Structure 1
Amino acid sequence: MTDQSLALVTGASRGIGLAIAERLIRDGYRVVGTATSEGGVAALRERLQSHGAQHDALLLDIANSEQTDAALADLQTRFGTPLIVVNNAGITRDNLFLRLNESDWDAVINTNLNGVFRVCKALVKPMLKQKAGSIINISSIIGTTGNGGQANYAAAKAGLEGFSRSLAQEIASRNITVNCIAPGFIQTDMTDVLPETQKDAILATIPGKRFGSVEDIAGAVAFLASSDAKYITGQTIHVNGGMNMG
């Protein structure tokens, strides 16, 4: 790896995505992060460039096929082909199944599963040409265990893991790995607003007796991006404090 090795992190404006972007910067990568609004891009660019002017941010809506194609073509023109691609962007539209409408089902599948397909479709071919790289897809414990009120999210994340294993088999011979990281409950601004009783109920299911940190996920990404993980592909690494084992 050189200081100019490029890493793309989608959904990098906050939380897990931002932690991943900043960890990869510390590890010597040139990082381009993405956000879904112009304001988000401006704020993310300022944050990333506080670590160095070589880093940047890009407008990317992975739910939109045409915009994704155009944005990633611009990425390659301006920055080159990424060595590391972290597919972190995603959404939730939670509801009990009997109340879940088709538009919320479609929105989650389109972003969390189809969106990763779009990013990989745009970047795998140039990555094959450079004969090196790592694709790291952020899944979830919910893709393995399921969760009431999240049938759409669980389906998307389970599909993401199956997609990753299949893609890994196709491109392993070109020195490109494809893996997933499945976080458990991670402390973010979304978990911070949960009632204490709900937090206590969740913590009771975690042998580690704490929520994970965004740095826990960033550290797992850093490992899969490193040369230490060059013989690991098609795997899902669970980072959940023992909440789900197997």
Structure 2
Amino acid sequence: MQKKWILVTGGSRGIGAALVQYLAREYDVVFTWKDQQSRAESLLNECRALSLNVSGYRCDGSKPTEVKALAQQLLTEYGAPFGIIHNAGITRDALHFKQDINDWETLIGTNLNAVFYWNQQLLPSMMEQGSGSIVMISSVSALKGNIGQVAYSASKAGMLGMARSLAREVARFNIRVNCVLPGLIETEMTTQMSDHEQKALKSNIPLRRLGRADEVAQATAYLIGEASSYMTGQSLVLDGGMSA
């Protein structure tokens, strides 16, 4: 790799794929995927066709041994990363008193513990490098409650607290830490909804539309790059005014 390189976790589809494609215009990008091999291969082919320097690796971020092994491989091959984008996330919606314990632990492991595992492996090299940027893809659910999303909201709110405290810890090493909080974004799930269902969703959004994955990518590019060089420990909400 010749440009600065960044890691995007959970980069094979949805917002993650949009992040990879958008950021690869400026950076060398490494992304991880867990169980979407066909999507990962498709994304890699698309990027190669555009002469973008992108690599993908299978890794379950909820397993510290897998994170450590891949992190050491990446550090050996590419050196310290310029940035980390913590995007991997899942939902396991259920009423809190009915939440399955295994679902709770799986969600927290994927959405929150993985951030800790990756940071522990990659931050020391970034601190030694004396520069870098971390962006956590949280959610407006961290600010605005949703029935059935206690676990998801807890994990995404946890990111906000992590970012604020970590920003203070690593600022002296010229490393910044920020969050993006997307609202309702166009996904495969929303495009399969009926017109009536989509209208109901949009009725709660002041801008009367869903966000696009490329809009999240642009906001993330701002936070990861030098344009936001005096911004750290902050949360950028991208929800069409839903939380206003």
Shorter-normalised TM range: over 0.9
Which residue in the other structure is 1:90 paired with? 89
Which amino acid in structure 2 is aligned with residue 32 of structure 1? V
In 1, Cα distance between the equivalents of 2:67 and 2:172? Answer: 27
Which amino acid in structure 2 is aligned with residue 30 of structure 1? D
1:52 partner SS: coil
| Cα displacement string for residues 53-93 of structure 1 (whole angstroms, at most 9, x for unaligned residues) | 63211112101110011011111112222101111011111
Consecutive unaligned residues in structure 2, runs of 5 or more: none
1:91 partner SS: coil
Consecutive unaligned residues in structure 1, runs of 5 or more: none
Which residue in the other structure is 2:206 paired with? 207
Which residue in the other structure is 1:161 paired with? 160
Post-superposition shift, 1:103?
1.0
1:86 partner SS: strand
Q: How does 1:64-143 map to 2 (within 5 A)?
A: 64-143=63-142
- The answer to whether the Cα contact below 8 Å between 1:12 and 1:18 also exists between their aligned partners in 2 is yes
Which amino acid in structure 2 is aligned with residue 94 of structure 1? D
In 2, Cα distance between the equivalents of 1:153 and 1:37? Answer: 20
| Cα displacement string for residues 166-204 of structure 1 (whole angstroms, at most 9, x for unaligned residues) | 100100111110000000000011222234333222211
Runs ≥4 in structure 1, deviation > 4 angstroms?
none
Matched, 1:147 2:140: no
Q: Specify which of 32, 35, 44 is matched with residue 34 of structure 1.
A: 32
Matched, 1:6 2:27: no
Change (3 A) 1:227 1:53: closer
Which amino acid in structure 1 is aligned with residue 228 of structure 2? A
Which amino acid in structure 2 is aligned with residue 179 of structure 1? N
Post-superposition shift, 1:52?
2.5
2:46 partner SS: helix
Which residue in the other structure is 2:56 paired with? 57
- The answer to whether the Cα contact below 8 Å between 1:32 and 1:55 also exists between their aligned partners in 2 is yes
In 2, Cα distance between the equivalents of 1:188 and 1:38? Answer: 16
Which amino acid in structure 2 is aligned with residue 224 of structure 1? L
- With normalisation by structure 2, the TM-score equals 0.94
- The answer to whether the Cα contact below 8 Å between 2:61 and 2:117 also exists between their aligned partners in 1 is yes
Change (3 A) 1:181 1:53: closer
Which amino acid in structure 2 is aligned with residue 107 of structure 1? T
Post-superposition shift, 1:122?
0.8
- The answer to whether the Cα contact below 8 Å between 1:12 and 1:44 also exists between their aligned partners in 2 is no
Matched, 1:46 2:49: no
In 2, Cα distance between the equivalents of 1:37 and 1:156? Answer: 21
Identity rate, percent: 38
- The answer to whether the Cα contact below 8 Å between 1:11 and 1:34 also exists between their aligned partners in 2 is yes
Let me know the Cα RMSD of the aligned residues.
1.6
- The answer to whether the Cα contact below 8 Å between 2:24 and 2:52 also exists between their aligned partners in 1 is no
2:204 partner SS: coil
Which residue in the other structure is 1:244 paired with? 243
- The answer to whether the Cα contact below 8 Å between 2:140 and 2:237 also exists between their aligned partners in 1 is yes
Post-superposition shift, 1:34?
1.2
Post-superposition shift, 1:3?
5.7
Which amino acid in structure 1 is aligned with residue 115 of structure 2? V
1:31 partner SS: strand
2:134 partner SS: strand
Post-superposition shift, 1:223?
0.6
Q: Number of matched residues?
A: 243
Which amino acid in structure 1 is aligned with residue 174 of structure 2? N
In 1, Cα distance between the equivalents of 2:124 and 2:130? Answer: 10
